[in-house]
Amino acid sequence: MPNLLQLEGPHRGVLRITLHRPEALNALNTALLGELAGVLADAGRDDAIRAVVLTGSRRAFAAGADINEMAERDLVGMLDDPRQRHWAAIARFSKPIVAAINGFTLGGGCELAMHADIRIAGEDAKFGQPEINLGIMPGAGGTQRLVRAVGQALATQMVLTGEPISARRALEAGLISEITQPELTVERATAIAERIAEKAPLAVRLAKEALHKALDTDLATGLRFERHAFTVLAGTADREEGIKAFQEKRRAQFTGR
């Protein structure tokens, strides 16, 4: 049973994962990342879970990698850092993650948020990559995913100055898709996740994969992947059910087949 995470559900197909290391503003130590990777691996195999809400506390989604733990690792330690394996497992998760973000979302915390498929933030959330202040730089995708999310100019400013941006700025820049009152963030993220959980699981999974392809391939390769995925879905029972339900003017009952 994990103890740096709180788990609720699945309820209506949604598992809620709350980062719970309040004494360190949810700093992502190896144990927490390992628990998260393990919970997601289990969730990936559980048909009752169709989407995940990932959240932290009102004060912090996560204030970054655990700086005290990092201080103990030298160059050789970094080479064999088990956290890389955990980050890779989080990135591999095939079901949608909706992040409900409040407070400090810094360094590895901002990078973790960018591993989510949809980000909803409370109006006092703060996003930043402050690693430069520690004499280091982002190491879990911050220089790559942030550029893709907010563009070269703002990402460069954030990474090189270490200065955070507000939730409002994050919304304008496209880092988050909605802004809420802080006390409503989890509720809103859960409503979005529940909406997704009602859809055909195979279609959701392939759509997520295709959307990811848009970030790491050229257009022709991405379009080819989309066409293959679209074609594969033509062989599913859920496609038949979805179209039939439309024609019969009723709600579709998807089974994941």
Beta strand extents in the chain (DSSP E only) = 5-11, 14-19, 51-55, 60-62, 97-101, 104-106, 118-122, 126-128, 165-166, 178-180
Per CB under 6 A, which region of 30-38, 44-52, 101-109, 149-157 contacts ligand HXC?
A: 101-109
Burial level of 251, CB count in 10 A (0-12/13-18/19+)? Answer: exposed
| Residues in a beta bridge with 139 | none
Hunting for tokens 């293959």 — which residue is that? 228
Footprint on residues 24-43 left by ligand HXC (CB under 6 A): 24-25, 27
Number of residues lying near ligand HXC (CB under 6 A)? 18
* Interacting residue with ligand HXC among 17, 113, 140, 167 (CB under 6 A): 140
**C-alpha to C-alpha distance for 202 and 254, rounded to whole angstroms:** 10
Contact status, residue 229 vs residue 223, Cβ threshold 8 Å: no
* Interacting residue with ligand HXC among 35, 117, 131, 238 (CB under 6 A): 131
**Residue with smaller CB distance to ligand HXC, 59 or 208:** 59
| Residues in a beta bridge with 6 | 18
Per CB under 6 A, which region of 32-40, 47-55, 66-74, 206-214 contacts ligand HXC?
A: 66-74
**Residue with smaller CB distance to ligand HXC, 66 or 238:** 66
Measure Cα distances from 255 to 11, 54, 176, 200, 236 in Å. Answer: 17, 24, 31, 7, 10
**C-alpha to C-alpha distance for 178 and 168, rounded to whole angstroms:** 9
* Interacting residue with ligand HXC among 7, 67, 229, 233 (CB under 6 A): 67
* Interacting residue with ligand HXC among 49, 106, 173, 176 (CB under 6 A): 106
* Interacting residue with ligand HXC among 13, 56, 108, 201 (CB under 6 A): 108
Of all residues in the shown chain, the one whose CB is closest to ligand HXC is: 107
**C-alpha to C-alpha distance for 33 and 12, rounded to whole angstroms:** 26
- Residues designated catalytic: 65, 108, 111, 131
Instruction: Rule CB under 6 A: say whether 10 interacts with ligand HXC.
Output: no
Q: How far is the CB of 114 from ligand HXC (least distance, A)?
A: 12
* Interacting residue with ligand HXC among 35, 66, 117, 238 (CB under 6 A): 66
Tally helices (H) and strands (E) across the chain. 12, 10
Instruction: Rule CB under 6 A: say whether 113 interacts with ligand HXC.
Output: no
Q: What residues make contact with ligand HXC under the rule CB under 6 A?
A: 24-25, 27, 63-68, 104, 106-108, 130-131, 134, 139-140
